Chains A and B, each alone.
Chain A
Amino acid sequence: MLTVSIYRYNPEADDEPYMQDFEVDTQGKDVMVLDVLEKLKVEDPTLVYRRSCREGVCGSDGMNMSGKNGLACITPLSQAVKNNKLIIRPLPGLPVIRDLVIDMGQFYAQYEKIQPYMINNSPAPAIERLQSQEERAKLDGLYECILCACCSTACPSFWWNPDKFIGPSGLLQAYRFLADSRDTATEERLAKLDDPFSVFRCHGIMNCVQVCPKGLNPTRAIGHIRNMLIRSAT
């Protein structure tokens, strides 16, 4: 039997959060953490968490499993269980709405700040804006971000200043548009990132890289932004 300890908090009924232990028979199978939650949800329908695609694409079920952020649907028990115990908490640093569901408003506010869309005011060509293979290759490792918030909520700089530091996810997306040959607002984008918080609160501890379920490297993207700022400002 596997002991699963889950963070529970219902603001309408509980004075404060608490950890609730469940015993789960996984029959020795190395199932995903989400499978365990689904099984528990049948036993206790009051357990609340987000989920959707159950295959690591939608980014809904980001949570903290035995101390490490990740997607429950693609994290096998063999990676998350320690001493026959699985501890599940909501992603840290953002307000909890209920149980494992967090309020991601601050996360999305930072995403909105970086203008996550193409800016190009030149007349649109007849068919499409073309890129060379090399130009397109620069977007690899950037466009794959699914905004699950595992990285930003693993970042202490984001915990302390979620209203000022854009966070690894937002900065990865910022570089995705800075690196895009079709975008013409590079200088305007860079001008908004020069303050002491937006980019420069990153101290390069690489928690984001360690937890990204898509294997992306926000720290490297932040380094590229810094280099672009240096090129522009010196």
Chain B
Amino acid sequence: MVTSITSLGRSGLSDWLLQRVSACIMTLYVLFIVGYLMLNPGLQFADWQALHGSLPMRMFSLMTVLSLAAHSWIGMWCVFTDYVTVRLIGPKATAVRIFFQLMMIAVTLLYTIWAIDILWGI
């Protein structure tokens, strides 16, 4: 089979593993944030800023952002290759699918860079 050039890992196995690992990281992050908010009911802005200003938290947040980017890339790529196909929507599908895939990649990269800028701007 021709290698997919718009999938994240170029391999089904690598995408599959990345999807699972990124899901675990995002779950841990959500659990941590929810737990933190529940344990700190009278949270002030300064506390919140101090939390997110620390290097370990920035790294944890960055890992989550990268996980989200990878996870959504793989997921959206699957959706486009399932539904935007010649079989389902006709001969224009290839051009439409490439457009959607490139847009998705561009948006994912933009959000990731923006998130890094926010995290290191705290």
Contacts and interface: CB of A to CB of B under 8 A. Distances in A.
B83 A194 contact: no
Contact of B4 (A156, A195, A233): A195
Contacts of B78: 201
A230 B85 contact: no
Contact of B15 (A160, A164, A200, A229): A200
A233 B13 contact: yes
Interface residues of A, number: 19
Contacts of A198: 1, 12
B82 A197 contact: no
B1 A164 contact: yes
Contact of A160 (B3, B11, B85): B85
B11 A196 contact: yes
Nearest to B16: A200
B100 to A, nearest CB: 15
A195 B82 contact: no
Given A200-B16, A229-B13, A160 B1 contact: no
Nearest to A164: B1
B106 interface: no
Contact of A196 (B7, B85, B88): B7
Contacts, number: 46
Given A195-B1, A195-B3, A195-B4, A161 B13 contact: no
B17 interface: yes
Interface in A175-225: 193-201
A189 B78 CA distance: 24
B66 to A, nearest CB: 20
Given A194-B11, A195-B4, A198-B1, A160 B16 contact: no
Contacts of A157: 82
Interface of B: 1, 3-4, 7, 11-13, 15-17, 77-78, 81-83, 85, 87-88
Which are the 3 A-B pairs with shortest beta-carbon distances? A200-B12, A196-B12, A160-B82
8 contacts: A161-B87, A194-B13, A195-B1, A195-B12, A196-B4, A196-B12, A200-B15, A229-B13
Given A161-B87, A195-B12, A199-B12, 20 more contacts: A156-B82, A160-B82, A160-B85, A160-B88, A161-B85, A164-B1, A194-B11, A194-B12, A194-B13, A195-B1, A195-B11, A196-B4, A196-B77, A197-B1, A198-B12, A200-B12, A200-B16, A226-B13, A229-B13, A233-B13
